[in-house]
Amino acid sequence: MSKPSLTTTALAAAILAAASVLVFSLTPHLFVWAAFIGWASYDHSGATAQAAVRSSAALVFGVIMAWAVAAAATSGMIPLNATVATAACAGIASFFIVLAARASILSVVPATFYGFASTFACLSLTPGAFTIQALTAPRLENVLVTMPVSLLIGTGVGIAHAKLAGRLTPHTHVKLAQLVPLNRA
């Protein structure tokens, strides 16, 4: 089996990126930018089955940690203003994110921070999302639902990218006689 060329890999990426943008345009509560982050995390983690599992677990863990920070900061339980409470909680969460890397499943620390940062991007960009009511509402718009789904779709796109690049690669069938020249002397 031939390894995909850079051009073939780029073509597969172009097809899937365009398709992703189109599909995500139909889903207002999911985010294509987060899917691209999930895809990048999968690739960055090694683009293997094990990478998919570890990257996905770390991405979701990052979302959960960011959600916990936001919930703690907006709940009113911390006697600090929201900015200082968020900063303090983010520092504590970052400490635990790095410690959690002791567990093999959470060992891809960059992926955890991709999930963490994506969640805060969503909370910052979505009006009304950074409130305890929005963070605890049982609906699709809740970042605890929408962000893991978006990121994990991206992991799936990453897997599809590798498969599509392989499918687009011309496979050459070489006969044994071409590999071992016969000496006819």
In a domain, 24, yes or no: yes
In a domain, 89, yes or no: yes
Task: Provide the residue range defining the domain that includes 89.
Answer: 6-167
Give the SS3 label for residue 168: helix
* Residue in the structure block whose two tokens are 């398709």: 19
In a domain, 181, yes or no: no
Could you tell me the maximum CA-CA distance found in the chain, to the nearest angstrom? 92
Give the whole-angstrom CA distance, residue 66 versus residue 112: 10
Query: pLDDT digit string (tens) for 13-71?
Result: 999 999 999 999 999 899 999 999 999 999 999 999 999 999 999 999 999 999 999 99
In a domain, 105, yes or no: yes
In a domain, 163, yes or no: yes
* Residue in the structure block whose two tokens are 């509402």: 137
pLDDT at residue number 2? 66
Specify the number of domains making up the chain: 1
Looking at 101-105, 136-140, 177-181, which range is the least confident one? 177-181
